[in-house]
Amino acid sequence: MLEATGELGESLYDVAINADLPIDGFGACEGVLACCTCHVILEPEHYKRLPPPTEDEIDLLDLAPDLTDYSRLGCQVKLTKNDLPSIEITVPSEVRDARTNV
């Protein structure tokens, strides 16, 4: 298990990158919603608190390996006060860059 600390309003992508977490291939597009390498799986209660994903995010998630009903892109999920004191996410074991499928 890896741990990181983030600030309110920061994306899960930013938290992982700023903490220099050793996740191979994570965030290849640098958080601009152009790949699916920051695919994360959220706990159901956290997922339900979020606004729904945009069509662009859904399109990219469709290309992500190990997709679940609670999958989101880390670049699109921002930390809120409801996430305090902590949340738990899962990073799938396989990372695939959607930009290579074009």
What is the chain's pLDDT, residue by residue, as a tens digit (102 residues)?
A: 788 999 999 999 999 999 999 998 899 999 999 999 999 999 999 999 999 999 999 999 999 999 999 999 999 999 999 887 888 999 998 776 766 654
Full domain range(s) for residue 50: 12-101
Residue 2: what pLDDT?
A: 83
DSSP 9: T
- pTM for the model: 0.89
DSSP 42: E
Q: Is 36 among the domain residues?
A: yes
Q: Is 47 among the domain residues?
A: yes
Check: CB of residue 92 under 8 Å from CB of residue 64.
yes
Residue 102: what pLDDT?
A: 47
Q: What is the CATH number of the domain that holds 42?
A: 3.10.20.30
Within 10 Å of residue 55's Cβ, how many Cβ atoms? 8
- The count of structural domains within the chain is 1
